[in-house]
């Protein structure tokens, strides 16, 4: 038994390393407080994350298997999504280190909480047992509530944390209810049983159960009708935390959703209803998100709605799950990751300087700080899906996947949504590039090394838009995904 546990543990090395990093920071904060400087913590977390990446790289050679009593999947899909999660966390820590909202009052808390959210997300990315999924999602959620309200004296931040906690609690309860019913029907919490068990329960009843579970995941995604929290939380939370919300929980939730769908694919009667649930959610989510984004003044709030739009689009890859669509999903997430980190770095810089993220302060940004202005414009064009930026390829791969499934009606909906979306992106580009600045005073503070690092993050947005041959077909490896 112990030996078995130890062999299984080799699949868990990245998570364990991450845990050690978190403990180490905690220890440092508690005992040698003077040592726990901003730079030091930044260095330690990056080193820890780097080691995690390395361990994941080694793990990718291990054969795909399910360990720990059939609860923990170690397939390539999990590894790739964990790499995405770690990259995203690196980006978030990078933003956090330079954000005065964070470093003025807090040091270690932000790093500990963020890394713990990552731990939860990594657990979720590998989980195939409902209990483990629940534990992982709760780990993400509860720490997110704390992160949202981290600015203890800011009413907006507190309000957002409270709202998020309230909504999140309810949706977790609903999900737990669905999981309990699932156990009642199938007699197991393992996702794989759904394919194996012949149940006499009618499909509609199963769909009710799955919808309950889905609502918990949809809450993490910010999919309609569980999207209400995201604008307030995006706006209220400190900017690095906002970046976290738009990446970590969403990536984890998409991975879980993909695993669910993968399990249902084998169940003939259930799959079509599940698909139509996903399609309906996707269409309504993107339409609601894009239309609501049109009239926003706060840039973070606008990006919250635009994220809802993106989520709706990405959901389409889950609907007809196959190797190509998983490739499209991972590609989209990767591109979205870079775009989000760059966008929030710039927003954070502006928020530091002016204490607000209203579009008013972005006026004529290109004249006050040419680098930030151009970088922001590139990110916005990429998000809107204009070639030759990677955002276009991401959208293209999803659109082409939908069309290859002969679903032209949905493709037209996606097209209409792109047109709505271009409206608000273009408006912001206009504010940044064309509008006259309030004054000609240059914005100080972004020194050469930071420009270089942001430049390096923009590079993939351009390069992936031109050379995307290998990446998009990453997922056609055999046994890429396993239940």
Q: Which residues bind another protein (CB under 8 A)?
A: 381, 386-388, 392, 396, 399-400, 403-404, 406, 408-409, 411-412, 415, 418-419, 422-423, 426-427, 429-430, 433-434, 467-469, 472-473
Q: What are phi and psi of 90, to 5 degrees?
A: -55, -45
What minimum distance in Å lies between the beta carbon of 471 and another protein? 10
In this structure, are residues 373 and 366 in contact, taking their beta carbons and an 8 Å threshold? yes
Q: Provide the 3-class DSSP secondary structure of residue 185.
A: helix
| Closer of 291 and 426 to another protein (Cβ) | 426
Distance CA 276, CA 2 (A): 45
| Closer of 274 and 381 to another protein (Cβ) | 381
Output the CA–CA distances (angstroms, integers) from residue 357 to 213, 344, 351, 363, in the order listed: 35, 11, 5, 11
What minimum distance in Å lies between the beta carbon of 423 and another protein? 7
What minimum distance in Å lies between the beta carbon of 466 and another protein? 9
| Closer of 208 and 434 to another protein (Cβ) | 434
Cβ-proximal residues to 104 (8 Å cutoff; 6+ apart), any chain: none
What minimum distance in Å lies between the beta carbon of 373 and another protein? 12
Distance CA 421, CA 462 (A): 20
| Closer of 30 and 403 to another protein (Cβ) | 403
**What is the greatest pairwise CA distance in the chain?**
72
| Closer of 32 and 408 to another protein (Cβ) | 408
In this structure, are residues 18 and 52 in contact, taking their beta carbons and an 8 Å threshold? yes
| Closer of 69 and 404 to another protein (Cβ) | 404
Distance of CA 186 to the CA centre of its chain: 31
Output the CA–CA distances (angstroms, integers) from residue 91 to 96, 197, 361, in the order listed: 9, 43, 24
Strands (DSSP E) contained in 317-394 are none
| Closer of 350 and 422 to another protein (Cβ) | 422
What minimum distance in Å lies between the beta carbon of 360 and another protein? 16
In this structure, are residues 439 and 312 in contact, taking their beta carbons and an 8 Å threshold? no
Token code pair at residue 396:
């293209």
What minimum distance in Å lies between the beta carbon of 7 and another protein? 37
What minimum distance in Å lies between the beta carbon of 400 and another protein? 5
End-to-end CA distance of the chain, in Å? Answer: 23
């Amino acid at each position: 038994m112990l030996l078995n546990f130890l062999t299984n543990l080799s699949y868990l090395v990245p998570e364990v390393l991450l845990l050690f990093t978190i403990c180490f920071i905690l220890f440092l904060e508690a005992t040698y407080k003077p040592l726990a400087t901003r730079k030091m913590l930044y260095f330690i977390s990056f080193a820890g994350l780097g080691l995690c990446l390395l361990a994941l790289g080694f793990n990718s050679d291990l054969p795909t298997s399910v360990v720990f009593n059939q609860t923990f999947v170690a397939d390539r899909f999990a590894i790739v999504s964990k790499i995405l999660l770690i990259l995203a966390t690196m980006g978030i820590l990078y933003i956090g280190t330079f954000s005065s909202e964070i470093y003025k009052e807090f040091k270690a808390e932000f790093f500990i909480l963020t890394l713990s959210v990552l731990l939860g997300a990594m657990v979720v990315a590998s989980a195939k047992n409902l209990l483990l999924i629940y534990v992982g999602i709760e780990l993400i959620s509860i720490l997110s509530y704390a992160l949202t309200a981290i600015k203890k004296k800011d009413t907006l931040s507190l309000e957002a944390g409270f709202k998020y906690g309230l909504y999140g609690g309810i949706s977790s309860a609903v999900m737990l209810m669905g999981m309990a019913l699932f156990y009642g029907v199938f007699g197991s919490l393992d996702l794989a049983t759904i394919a194996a068990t012949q149940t006499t329960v009618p499909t509609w009843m199963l769909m009710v159960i799955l919808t309950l579970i889905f609502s918990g995941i949809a809450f993490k995604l910010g999919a309609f009708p569980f999207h209400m929290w995201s604008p307030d939380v995006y706006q209220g939370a400190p900017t690095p935390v906002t970046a976290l919300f738009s990446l970590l929980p969403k990536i984890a939730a998409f991975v879980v959703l993909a695993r669910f769908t993968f399990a249902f694919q084998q169940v003939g009667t259930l799959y079509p209803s599940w698909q139509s649930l996903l399609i309906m959610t996707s269409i309504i989510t993107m339409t609601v998100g894009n239309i609501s984004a049109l009239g926003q003044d706060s840039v973070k709030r606008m990006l919250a709605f635009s994220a809802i739009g993106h989520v709706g689009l990405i959901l389409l890859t889950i609907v007809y799950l196959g190797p190509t669509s998983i490739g499209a999903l991972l590609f989209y997430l990767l591109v979205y990751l870079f775009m989000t980190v760059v966008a929030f770095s710039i927003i954070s810089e502006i928020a530091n300087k002016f204490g607000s993220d209203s579009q008013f302060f972005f006026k004529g940004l290109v004249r006050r700080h040419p680098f930030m202005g151009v970088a922001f414009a590139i990110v916005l064009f990429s998000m809107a899906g204009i070639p030759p930026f990677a955002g276009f390829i991401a959208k293209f791969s999803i659109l082409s996947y939908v069309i290859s499934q002969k679903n032209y009606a949905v493709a037209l909906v996606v097209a209409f949504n792109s047109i709505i979306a271009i409206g608000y992106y273009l408006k912001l580009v206009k504010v940044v590039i064309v509008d006259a600045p309030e004054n000609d005073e240059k914005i100080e503070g972004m020194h050469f090394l930071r420009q270089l690092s942001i430049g390096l993050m923009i590079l993939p947005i351009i390069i992936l838009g031109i050379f995307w041959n290998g990446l998009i077909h990453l997922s056609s490896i055999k046994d890429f995904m396993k239940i």
